[in-house]
């Protein structure tokens, strides 16, 4: 499916936020998915994920989650310090408030089917995807190796009200297996459920073909699984 893409702006109440939008080129309405970045910004990798989602029939919107830290920035995978510095200044709660505006704006788009909005997040974006599943009016949320979910995001678990799919990597030290067990325990404690997949033998970033940890076979299996989950809950 051919797609068309462009940078647009959404006003977040006090400040405009840049969003990369990729959508099917054919006219008509489609479900929407927010593609939430890693700590390296809305870089070429995130934009390609949005394009892939658009090719699968979604209006994909990748918001610049670092927009409150100055001009739009794209990090490199061989230069961690600037990305870590931005992550340290990042405020989850401010981001979640900004997402209220993003979700509202996406729902009002003439090319989006009414109310059919989901989230697909990676790393930092995976953490936000977990919190959003517990606090936002969305239909589904998918998180790839969300870092730091135990803590403030996990405390939001009682509010979980949409289908949630969580992907983790067996060798990941940023989102270790101990964190996965804490998530399972919190879900069980509050009578909630989620689809949790721990991919064996792979590390953090296994889905990203621009990172050393990229694992083609696992990535090739994970993508259709994530799309099937989104299709089930955004198209059904």
pTM score, whole prediction: 0.97
CATH 3.40.50.1820 fits 3-234, yes or no: yes
Split at pLDDT 50, 70, 90, the class of 65 is very high
Which active-site residues does the annotation give? 123, 172, 204
**Rg of the chain, C-alpha, whole Å:** 16
Kindly state the tokens that stand for 135. 């606090």
Query: Would you state the pLDDT for residue 1?
Result: 87
Give the residue extent of every domain in the chain.
3-234
Please check the confidence at residue 236 and state whether its pLDDT lies above 90.
no
CB-based contact 200:173 (threshold 8 Å): no
Tokens representing residue 136 in the block: 């936002």
Q: Which two tokens stand for residue 213?
A: 């940890």
Confidence label for 149 from pLDDT (cuts 50, 70 and 90): very high
Q: Which 3 state secondary structure label does DSSP give 30? A: strand
């Amino acid at each position: 499916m051919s797609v068309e893409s462009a940078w647009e702006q959404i006003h977040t109440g006090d400040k405009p936020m840049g969003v990369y939008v990729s959508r099917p080129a054919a006219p008509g309405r489609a479900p929407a998915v927010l593609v939430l970045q890693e700590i390296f910004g809305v870089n070429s990798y995130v934009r390609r994920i949005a394009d892939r989602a658009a090719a699968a029939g979604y209006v994909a919107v990748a918001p610049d989650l670092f927009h409150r830290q100055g001009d739009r920035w794209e990090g490199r995978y061989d230069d961690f310090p600037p990305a870590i510095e931005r992550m340290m200044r990042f405020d989850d709660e401010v981001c979640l408030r900004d997402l209220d505006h993003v979700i509202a704006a996406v729902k009002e788009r003439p090319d989006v089917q009414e109310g059919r909005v989901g989230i697909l997040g990676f790393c930092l974006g995976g953490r936000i995807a977990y919190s959003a599943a517990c606090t936002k009016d969305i239909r589904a949320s998918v998180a790839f190796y969300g870092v730091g979910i135990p803590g403030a995001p996990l405390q939001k678990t009682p509010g979980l009200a949409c289908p949630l799919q969580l992907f983790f990597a067996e060798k990941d030290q940023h989102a270790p297996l101990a964190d996965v067990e804490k998530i399972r325990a919190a879900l069980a404690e509050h009578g909630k459920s989620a689809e949790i997949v721990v991919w064996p033998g792979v590390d953090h970033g296994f889905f990203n073909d621009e990172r050393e940890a990229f694992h083609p076979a696992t990535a090739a299996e994970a993508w259709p699984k994530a799309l099937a989950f989104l299709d089930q809950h955004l198209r059904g």
